[in-house]
Structure 1
Amino acid sequence: MLLLKALLIVTKDVYLMSTKLDFDHYNQWIAPISQLESPAFVQGLMIGQICADTSLTEALWLKQFLTEAGITKIKESWLHDLHQLYEQTLLGLNSDAFELELLLPDDTSSLAQRVHHLALWSEGVLHGLGLGQLPELNTELTELIQDLSELAMVAPPEDADDMAEEQYMQLYEFARLAAMMFYDQLHPMATKAPAKAASDAAVTLH
């Protein structure tokens, strides 16, 4: 059981980015790389690194990623995919319409799979943050790290009922918001619209 106090942003005018990230596509090419558990982990790792290092460029991130993953040879098509992932994720973090899209299985996948990969995404964010040199964090961000640590350990629900689906969506929205809050506060020069009023919500996922 996970008890997570999540800050949820309610936005009415969110629209999709022009290029949607395809979880299954990314999952196919990382499958042979045993140390990469999931495309969700890869994106989470990227977000953590971007948030922790304000001077991180795409080229530097790619170099760090390949080193961290132990990849010595990479196909040109993979470079294209990684570029798209970096570009779309960064666009989402900088969006004033809260467009950040998490690289997770879609709704056709089982709830257990979606919860599993959301936990791996959270694990990736924490690992990425740990690779950087974070400044002293305020109470809000410190608590977010604790919440992400809990989310990284969440177990898939035994019953995929409507309540479990709703709880998953709340966790998904919390994860998106947590990433954007980290980026906003650690990248003060980024231009973004002020967040709308948020409310605390207790989320329990069995």
Structure 2
Amino acid sequence: MTLATESIVPVAFDELADRMVELGGDGHPAEIHGYISGVLSAGGRPVMKTWLEQVAEQMGDKTLNDAMTEVLTRLYKSTLQQLEAGDFSIQVLLPDDDESLAQRTESLGTWCQSFISGFGQGLSQQNVSDMVEDVLKDFAEISLIEATEENEESEKLFVEVSEFVRMAWLAVFNDLHDKSEDDSSTAGKGSTIH
């Protein structure tokens, strides 16, 4: 079975958080997911060993146990699978809705900041579309977001912003993925030497 046909169970925020607590590492689940989401969206495809080393470094040079390695491997594969499916099933890894608005808002800001870092790391081309530049600017602004009050209006705004992030993330991936397919399909075309 290939990655495209194998159904991979996505990692839940609490599952990754629990593994991180077990290791006593630094970092945040949204930080890890945001980073790999940015790398993958920019076209980077790090080998699993490299990805695991990067996370261990993010966590304060912790040695990853088997449970953490399994969760991170699944996080990488399920994120890539969701992006490639392009069917709007992608989800930003955030705490459940029963957590405080402040915690969810902080996580969304952390995810956006880490996405930008990962995107820069994974980008192999220098030029991106105006749309991608605009999304990265929006994510930079969202990374500074703070929840002021827990009320219905704030909750509604959070839902709108998190949905924007989700759709903008997919748009960035599709924009760069479509360009790379266009570039590879036109490579080799044109004049030939006989």
Structure with higher RCO (Cα < 8 A, 6+ apart):
1
> TM-score, normalising length from structure 1?
0.74
TM-score by length of 2: 0.79
- Residue aligning to 1:21: 11
Distance in structure 2 (CA, Å) of the matches to 1:54 and 1:112? 32
Residue 134 of structure 2 corresponds to 143
Q: Which among 65, 70, 76 is matched to residue 75 of structure 1?
A: 65
Q: Which residue of 2 aligns with 1:112?
A: 102
CA distance in 2, matches of 1:117, 1:186: 25
Of 89, 94, 103, the residue aligned with 2:84 is: 94
TM-superposition CA deviations, 1:142-173 (whole Å, max 9, x none): 1111000000011112x221111111111111
Which position in structure 2 is the counterpart of 1:153?
Answer: 144
1:163 aligns to 2:156 (yes or no): no
Question: Which of the two has higher C-alpha Rg?
Answer: 2
Backbone CA RMSD of aligned residues: 2.1
The question of 1:130 aligning with 2:120 is answered yes
Structure 1 position 33, deviation (Å): 1.3
Q: Is the 8 A contact 1:54 1:187 kept in 2?
A: no
Task: Tell me the distance in 2 between the aligned counterparts of 1:98 and 1:165.
Answer: 22
Structure 1 spans left out of the alignment, 5+ residues: 1-16, 191-206
* More strand per residue: 1
**In 2, Cα distance between the equivalents of 1:121 and 1:115?**
10
1:105 Cα deviation after fit: 0.5
Q: Distance in 1 between matches of 2:86 and 2:42?
A: 21
The CA deviation at 1:62 is 2.8
Q: Pick from 15, 22, 25 the counterpart of residue 33 of structure 1.
A: 25
Q: Which runs of 4+ in 1 moved over 6 A?
A: none
Q: Distance in 1 between matches of 2:76 and 2:45?
A: 15
Taking every aligned residue pair, what percent have the same amino acid on both sides?
A: 25
